[in-house]
């Protein structure tokens, strides 16, 4: 299925483009056995009526609908008006639901066209995609291999070109594992960033609605529509202006955490370790990532709490009563997991909460040394026969790199990272702090384009799709503040620590325009210069550094600036205007004019040379 931009161009240039696109989807669905992908379908006539409704909108008005005419699917634990919600269990459905989940409503209001609801591991309990009475989805690359789950149908619908994007859910990796096995993007947003109202919960305190798309650019468009506070969802969150500050995304380099060799695990697979190392090399050499090796063990200990601790009891809280009354209609593995969960006590729960907080202290220490984490999305792929032989053991192995993410309130994006010699796809996952979703998408797009050639399960070229964003260093995340420094705060200078201890990052070195004079101020400790704008002054400009400071740190930084220095607007030689250090005009009356040196470092070097 073409990307969002290509479809919009088609619809603009071809009056019948939208009808042709939607008709072709239904022809494919009805023309071949795609039942394992779908649990229920919006009737063709309803979709065509939606097409006719959208076609009445003028081209000028369509720009207000970012998802105009874009076909999508949702996992069948998400409510859709007029369709039943089965969560992978026919007996669970209570007839057609009355209204859309708020998230589905948002997408439709933005112009998207819903095609249907997709297959899943029953009650979203599994990472395999085989625990469904509706059949098991296979990887689009090899039908002997599982698709991954629990959002199996949603991933396959995108990878096979039936829809442009889809919604899944993610508690332990269900929005990421199927993305790797089908060579697509899987965005696991920050918990609470997307409304989960109208979604059958797995673990309500951890659940996220996830996004599958072929490119990070499409995922970013969908996220921009889908995100937002829902006052009726108890777990919905409003990010503060400083939440998820990611100055590293516009810096020349970024620190990327890589698990040490002894904490990497591929469970006897021989191809994935090679491709993971290739991804590491490309990120280091081509994308300027600074590699930081770290011990993954504390994160793995967190992961063990999810299925070997009382959080699994949340699954019983969600659907346990129903399961107890319908034991014969529940997948045997799902039944075992959910019914055993009721054995946990309140004491077990509190002890696990205490252990999680203890482990958070350890993981937070590690986050101080890197900006983003890179892991394989899954250690390996499994055939259907392998999963049938050991359904719980191999499911657990699939979650090796995913189970800790939601417990630690992190955001993640699964990215295609190449094709193995046996033709199966491999993928990596970027992980960072809550609300860094946009930064992860930007970096994910760069990595995707560096490691992959084709899109999903098709022969279409990734290079022909729009990049998410230019990595021009002038693009500024809303949660950062650019500030220009010209003296004691420069890299290597005495006050630079005031920036670095606030997690600020150097963006670039550049110059002011010619209308600035630089003075060596008297009696400062440490010595400081003063930058003064002098209209019609002529020179080559003054060297400075631009730093990105997290928004919640800028006030404390500015509070440390002594008189006669101040913060004002500085005009750069390329026409950009940034905030930065200036000096009060009265302070330069008895100061030495050092403009001819072109910058503070050159002036300091001249003093050293003369001494």
Q: How many angstroms separate the first and last alpha carbons of the chain?
A: 69
Domain boundaries, the chain: 4-237+245-464, 480-610
Give the burial string for 52-82 (b: 16+ CB within 10 Å, else e).
Answer: eebeeeeeeebeebbbbbbbbbbbbbbbbee
pLDDT, residue 611, reads 73
Q: In which element (H, E) is residue 547 found?
A: strand 543-550
Catalytic residue among 75, 106, 528, 553: 75
Catalytic residue among 147, 151, 154, 174: 174
201 with 245: CB under 8 angstroms?
A: no
pLDDT, residue 307, reads 85
In CATH terms, the fold of domain 480-610 is Hypothetical upf0131 protein ytfp (3.10.490)
pLDDT, residue 472, reads 43
Please determine, for residue 73, whether its predicted confidence score (pLDDT) is greater than 60: yes
pLDDT, residue 474, reads 39
Please determine, for residue 155, whether its predicted confidence score (pLDDT) is greater than 50: yes
What's the pLDDT tens digit per position in 246-299?
Answer: 999 989 999 999 999 999 999 999 999 999 999 999 999 999 999 999 999 999
The Cα–Cα gap between 401 and 398 comes to: 8
Q: For the chain, what percent of residues have pLDDT higher than 90?
A: 91
174 is catalytic: yes
User: What does the pLDDT average to over 82-102?
Assistant: 96
- Confidence class for position 34, pLDDT limits 50, 70, 90: low
Supply the CATH classification number for the domain 4-237+245-464.
Answer: 3.90.1300.10
The Cα–Cα gap between 306 and 424 comes to: 29
242 is catalytic: no
Please determine, for residue 475, whether its predicted confidence score (pLDDT) is greater than 70: no
The Cα–Cα gap between 49 and 567 comes to: 58
Residues 6+ apart with CB under 8 A from 23: 48
Catalytic residue among 40, 84, 139, 150: 150
Please determine, for residue 560, whether its predicted confidence score (pLDDT) is greater than 70: yes
What's the pLDDT tens digit per position in 119-150?
Answer: 999 999 999 999 999 999 999 999 999 999 99
Query: Mean pLDDT for the chain?
Result: 94
Instruction: Reduce the secondary structure of 265-314 to three states and give it as a string.
Output: CCCCCCCHHHHHHHHHHHHHHCCCEEEEEECCHHHHHHHHHHHCCHHHHH
- Confidence class for position 492, pLDDT limits 50, 70, 90: very high
User: What does the pLDDT average to over 215-236?
Assistant: 96
User: What does the pLDDT average to over 430-459?
Assistant: 94
What's the pLDDT tens digit per position in 337-385?
Answer: 999 999 999 999 999 999 999 999 999 999 999 999 999 999 999 999 9
Residues 6+ apart with CB under 8 A from 382: 128, 145, 146, 394, 398
pLDDT, residue 478, reads 62
429 with 447: CB under 8 angstroms?
A: no
């Amino acid at each position: 299925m073409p990307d969002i931009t290509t479809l919009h161009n088609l619809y603009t240039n071809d009056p019948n483009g939208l009808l042709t696109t939607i008709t072709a989807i239904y022809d494919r669905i009805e023309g071949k056995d795609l039942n394992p992908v779908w649990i229920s379908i919006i009737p063709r006539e309803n979709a065509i009526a939606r097409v006719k409704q959208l076609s009445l909108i003028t081209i000028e008005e369509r720009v207000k609908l970012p998802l105009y005419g874009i076909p999508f699917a949702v996992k069948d634990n998400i409510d859709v008006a007029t369709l039943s919600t089965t969560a992978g269990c026919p007996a669970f459905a209570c007839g057609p639901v009355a209204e859309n989940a708020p998230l589905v409503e948002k997408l439709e209001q933005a112009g998207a066209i819903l095609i249907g609801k997709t297959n899943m591991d029953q009650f979203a309990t599994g990472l395999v995609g085989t625990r469904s009475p509706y059949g098991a989805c296979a990887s689009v690359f090899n039908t002997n291999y599982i698709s991954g789950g629990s959002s199996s149908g949603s991933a396959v619908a995108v990878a096979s070109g039936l829809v442009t994007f889809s919604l899944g859910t993610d508690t332990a990796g269900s929005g990421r594992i199927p993305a790797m096995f089908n060579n697509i993007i899987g965005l696991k947003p920050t918990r609470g960033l997307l409304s989960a109202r109208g979604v059958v919960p797995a673990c309500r305190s951890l659940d996220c609605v996830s996004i599958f798309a072929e490119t990070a650019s499409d995922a970013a468009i969908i996220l921009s529509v889908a995100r937002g506070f829902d006052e009726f969802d108890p777990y919905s969150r409003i990010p503060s202006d400083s939440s998820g500050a990611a100055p590293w995304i516009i810096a020349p380099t970024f620190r990327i955490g890589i698990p040490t060799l002894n904490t990497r695990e591929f469970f006897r697979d021989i191809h994935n370790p090679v491709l993971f190392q290739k991804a590491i090399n490309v990120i280091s050499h081509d994308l300027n990532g600074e590699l930081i090796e770290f011990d993954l063990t504390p994160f793995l200990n967190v992961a063990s709490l999810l299925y070997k601790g009382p959080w699994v009891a949340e699954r019983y809280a969600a659907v346990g009563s129903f399961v107890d009354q319908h034991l014969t209609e529940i997948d045997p593995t799902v039944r075992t997991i959910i019914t055993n969960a009721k054995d946990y006590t309140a004491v077990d729960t509190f002890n696990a909460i205490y252990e999680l907080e203890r482990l958070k202290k350890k993981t937070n220490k590690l986050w101080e040394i890197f900006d983003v984490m890179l892991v394989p999305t899954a250690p390996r792929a499994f055939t259907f026969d392998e999963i049938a032989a050991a359904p719980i053991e191999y499911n657990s192995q699939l979650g090796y790199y995913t189970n800790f993410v939601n417990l630690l309130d992190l955001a993640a994006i699964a990215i295609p990272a190449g094709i193995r010699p046996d033709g199966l796809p491999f993928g990596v996952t970027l992980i960072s702090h809550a609300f860094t979703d946009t930064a992860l998408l930007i970096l994910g797009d760069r990595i995707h384009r560096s490691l992959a050639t084709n899109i999903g399960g098709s022969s279409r070229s990734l290079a022909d799709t729009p990049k998410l964003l230019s990595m021009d260093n002038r693009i500024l995340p809303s949660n950062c503040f650019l500030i220009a420094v010209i003296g004691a705060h420069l890299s290597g200078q005495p006050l630079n620590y005031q920036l670095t201890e606030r997690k600020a990052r150097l963006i670039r070195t550049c110059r002011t325009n010619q209308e600035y004079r630089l003075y060596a101020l008297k009696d400062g400790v440490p010595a400081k210069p003063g930058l003064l704008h002098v209209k019609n002054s002529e020179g080559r400009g003054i060297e400075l550094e631009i730093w990105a400071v997290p928004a919640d740190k800028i006030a404390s930084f500015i509070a440390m600036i002594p008189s006669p220095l101040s913060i004002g607007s500085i005009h750069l030689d390329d026409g950009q205007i940034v905030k930065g250090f200036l000096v009060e005009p009265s302070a330069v009356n008895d100061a030495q004019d050092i403009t001819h040196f072109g910058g503070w470092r050159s002036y300091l070097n001249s003093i050293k040379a003369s001494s």
